[in-house]
């Protein structure tokens, strides 16, 4: 399994009144990194998120904070993807600022039929994304 790397600078609109990244925004930034990993694998984002017969909602998310981030701080995110079963995968996020651990997070996703809302095996585009990141499914 390979690790996907995503670099970003913290923006003013990521922060709260105290001048640090608002807690919910850090999970949003993790999702931004997930989306970047889809694009890197050649996924057609408009098709992936709209009108696709299979949806991939997040069923669990968590994040543990270690250090604050402020506007202008560089942020590096490493994503590690793992298969949970034939229709579920997890992404573990390791967030650092210049090698200093900032936070760790996790999202769990399930592949479902968009109409019936029942679990289904990973669709082809998602399997290609997993293979691109050297995850066997």
Determine the Cα–Cα distance for residues 92 and 107; give it in Å rounded to an integer: 7
Determine the Cα–Cα distance for residues 129 and 89; give it in Å rounded to an integer: 12
The closest of 70, 78, 103, 106 to 90, measured between CA atoms, is 106
DSSP 108: E
For residue 1, what are the contacts with CB-CB under 8 A and spacing of at least 6?
Answer: 80, 81, 82, 133, 134, 135
Look up 85 and say whether it is catalytic.
no
Torsion, Cα of 97, 102, 108, 109 (10° steps):
-30
Which residue out of 7, 14, 16, 136 is catalytically annotated? 16
What is the set of active-site residues? 16
């Amino acid at each position: 399994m390979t690790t996907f790397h995503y670099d970003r600078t913290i923006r003013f609109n990521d922060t709260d009144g105290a001048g640090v990244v608002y807690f919910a925004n850090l999970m949003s930034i993790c999702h931004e990194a997930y989306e970047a990993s889809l694009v890197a694998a050649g996924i057609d984002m408009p098709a992936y998120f709209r009108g696709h017969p299979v949806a991939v909602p997040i069923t669990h998310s968590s994040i543990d904070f270690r250090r604050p981030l402020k506007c202008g701080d560089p942020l590096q995110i490493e994503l590690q993807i793992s298969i949970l079963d034939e229709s579920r995968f997890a992404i573990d996020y390791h967030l650092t600022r210049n090698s200093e651990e900032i936070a760790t997070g996790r999202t769990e996703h399930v592949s479902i039929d968009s109409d019936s809302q029942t679990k289904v095996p990973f669709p082809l585009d998602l399997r290609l994304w997993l293979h691109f990141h050297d995850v066997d499914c």
